[in-house]
Every structure is written in C-alpha cells, then in structure tokens.
C-alpha cells in the first residue's frame, strides 16, 4: 500500500493499526471524525464539487506547462509534520508513469494517494480510503486508471487462456478479470475496454463493500468519480 494514513506506533502492524482506527471511528457512528492532530494547512471541509474542480484545475496547469510552484522545502515539510488535511483521495495504478501528485500539480499533504497494480478496490485500498474519508475529511475520491495498463493487459491474457502465474500475481489479477471478460464480449479495443470497465467497477465497489463510503456518498459528503489518463496526450478525462 503506497499511501499510509499516518506514522504507526512501533510494534503495531498495519492491519492492526487500520483496524483500530476503523473501530474507533465506527464506535462513535458510521462517519464519526476523531479529533485531528494540529494541522496548520487545514481549513473548512471542501465540498465534493469544489475538490474536483481544484483537482482538475491543477491538471490543467500541468497540461499547460504552467504549474504553480509547490512547496517541498524544510519549512513546508515541518508544517505538514503536525498533521494532514488532504482535499482529495486518489485510487490509482502503481504504474510509474501515472503519478497523481505530478498530474494534478499538488504538493505535500494535498492528496491522499492509494496505488496498486490496476487501481483495484481491494481490502487495503478500501480500508485506506475509509480512513481518508472518516478521519481526514476527504470529500472526493477519484479512481484513476490509464491507457495501456499492464495489469489490465495481463487480465485480458488470463481471461483468454489459462496462464501459469505466481500465486500473488494471479490473486492480484482476479478483480480485473470480470472487466476483461466484459470487454471481450463487447469486442473492439479489448484492452481499453477492460481499462474503462475496471475503473467503473472499482468505483462502484467502493460503495458496495464499504458502509462508511456508502453513507458519506448518500449524504452528499463524498463524491466518487472515475477517470482515465491518456499516456499519449497526457490528458485525464473524467468518466460518466
């Protein structure tokens, strides 16, 4: 898991830490927000549409080659050390060419990023995003897939024929295979169809399996969107 909610105490495993945080939050209610650490950059909770507009404005700066200078110096790092208040969360692919912080011209503490091969809404990703929404006040989750995704390509190959794969890799591909099968039935560009279907499937799964995210979405406190990054023109396009 690439995004970590906070520095965990020595000797406490990741699963135990996230479980304890979730239990503490749910004990007070489905969307209780525990007191945050002092966060100098924190402000009023941003509405979901405002968060999306801010995210896409950053991407427009990236495309225009006119990024706003982002503070990464010692002073900025010290300010962020007290706590975090990201305005959006990204469930993205681990592909080295699709780094959300660069694509959306953001700095330290602005995005809560979870990445794995194929931008899959697996247990670790869902739990991390629950933390971002319930504990950090995030109001926007973007599921960000990308053109020519290697995980999606492998899922298409696995859907077409039985492959001999290492156990962990095989397990990782399982959530993408239904999207590959749907794309094979639909015909056309099977790989791109798989990528788009997988984005939509991951976005839908977030509210299907998580009462925390479902309740926030129903109440209008959270918006979940899918988007596709094109490696050729470098554009991020929102999906309906």
**Annotated binding-site members for Zn(2+):** 93, 95, 146, 149
Q: Distance (Å, rounded) from C-alpha 34 to C-alpha 196? A: 36
Binding-site annotation: residue ranges? 93, 95, 146, 149
**Residue 238, strand partner residues:** 227
Q: Phi and psi (nearest 5°) for 97?
A: -95, 0
* 157 and 182 Cβ atoms separated by less than 8 Å: no
- Looking only at the bridges linking them, the beta strands covering 223-229 and 140-146 are parallel
**What is the dihedral sign for C-alpha 100, 102, 105, 109?**
positive
Q: Distance (Å, rounded) from C-alpha 191 to C-alpha 184? A: 9
């Amino acid at each position: 898991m690439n995004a970590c909610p906070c520095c965990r105490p020595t000797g406490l495993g990741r699963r135990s830490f996230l479980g304890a945080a979730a239990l503490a939050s749910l004990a007070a209610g489905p969307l209780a927000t525990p007191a945050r650490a002092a966060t100098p950059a924190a402000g009023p909770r941003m509405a979901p549409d405002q968060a999306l507009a801010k995210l896409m404005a950053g991407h427009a700066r990236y495309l225009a080659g006119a990024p706003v200078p982002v503070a990464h110096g010692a002073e900025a790092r010290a300010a962020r050390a007290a706590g975090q208040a990201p305005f959006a969360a990204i469930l993205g692919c681990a592909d080295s060419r699709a780094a959300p912080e660069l694509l959306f011209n953001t700095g330290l503490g602005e995005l809560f990023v979870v990445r794995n091969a194929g931008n899959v809404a697996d247990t670790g990703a869902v739990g991390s995003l629950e933390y971002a929404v319930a504990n950090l006040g995030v109001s926007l989750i973007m599921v960000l897939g990308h053109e020519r995704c290697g995980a999606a390509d492998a899922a298409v190959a696995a859907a077409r024929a039985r492959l001999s794969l290492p156990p962990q890799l095989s397990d990782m591909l399982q959530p993408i295979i239904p999207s590959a099968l749907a794309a094979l039935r639909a015909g056309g560009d099977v790989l791109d169809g798989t990528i788009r279907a997988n984005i939509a499937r991951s976005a839908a799964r977030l509210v299907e399996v998580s009462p925390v995210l479902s309740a926030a979405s129903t109440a209008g406190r959270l918006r979940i969107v899918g988007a596709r990054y094109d490696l050729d023109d470098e554009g991020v396009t929102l999906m309906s």
